[in-house]
Amino acid sequence: MPLYINQDLTTLMEHFHVLTGLRMVLFDENYHELLSYPAEGIPFCVCMRQNAAFDEQCRESDRISFERCRKTHELTVYKCHAGLIEATAPLMADGKIIGYVMFGQITDIKDKDELLLTLRALVNMYADGQDLDDAIRHIRCKNTRQILAASKILEACANYILLKEMIKPADKEFFDTVEKYIRDHIGEDITVERLCREFHISRTNLYAALRPHVDGGIAAYIRHCRLTVARELVKSTDLPIADIAARVGFDDYNYFLRVFKKAYGTSPKRLR
């Protein structure tokens, strides 16, 4: 189910981080990461996930927590495969899960030497070195009561996100928002990747959200928007045709003439 994300969600995530010191991450129902604050995880996880085998275990650990949420529809607190504590809360709409919010990458082991020995035993086969030791020693520690409190705050945030419609299934409103964004940036390099970043949505979900409103794919729709604006400018202004082509994002003037004629059955000059 494609999701529309209100920009206020980033602010809420930032507030959560300021209050708890923890990183909040949003996933869609298919377990794709959509948004996080801070953007990157702790140094230990960033370092370890450069190893493909370790990264796959991280993803599998996340999937297990998501499946548990899917079955229970409740907050779940657990230890990941690397021994760090995480919590996941489901996002529900009309009785269905549309996504998940998570925090993690913390420990309840207060003694830094004990923490180093514990994690080293788990990750030695993947990486080693002083930098990794330093990263382990900087993992944030929370006691049991603090972890429970943060988990309940996460759960409250999940309910608030839904109440304020910071995240909801994408609909015509989402399509209109994307269309306006394209028109507002019509002269720029607009790609599928850029739209995904702007609207915090996976490529798969973006295609699914726009499919009911777009024929021929997203790239074709972007080109259609460029031609539509170009046609409006040809008819309503005295701007040189070459300037119009550049203004709507066509770097190749001859290509612009070809696609314009194909779309409207005549050249820009004849149309004017």
Averaged pLDDT for residues 193-213 = 85
Higher pLDDT, 192 or 202: 192
Residue 62 has pLDDT above 90, yes or no: yes
Going from N- to C-terminal start, the domains of the chain cover 3-165, 172-271
Q: Which amino acid is at 268?
A: P
The C-alpha atoms of residue 195 and residue 177 are separated, in whole angstroms, by 11
Instruction: Report pLDDT for 129.
Output: 83
Instruction: Report pLDDT for 1.
Output: 60
Q: Which residue has the tokens 């529309």?
A: 4
Q: 261 is written with which tokens? A: 């004629």
pLDDT > 70: what percent of the chain?
99
The length of the chain in residues reads 272
With 0.85 as the threshold, say if the pTM is over it: no
Cβ atoms of 81 and 57 within 8 Å: the answer is: yes
- Tell me the pLDDT tens digit for each residue of 212-259: 888 778 999 999 999 999 999 999 999 999 999 999 999 999 999 999
Domains 3-165 and 172-271 share a fold: no
Q: Which CATH superfamily is 172-271 part of?
A: Homeodomain-like (1.10.10.60)
Q: 97 is written with which tokens? A: 């899960």
DSSP 8-class letter at 49? T
The C-alpha atoms of residue 239 and residue 109 are separated, in whole angstroms, by 68
Q: Which CATH superfamily is 3-165 part of?
A: PAS domain (3.30.450.20)
Q: 196 is written with which tokens? A: 């995904």
Averaged pLDDT for residues 114-125 = 91
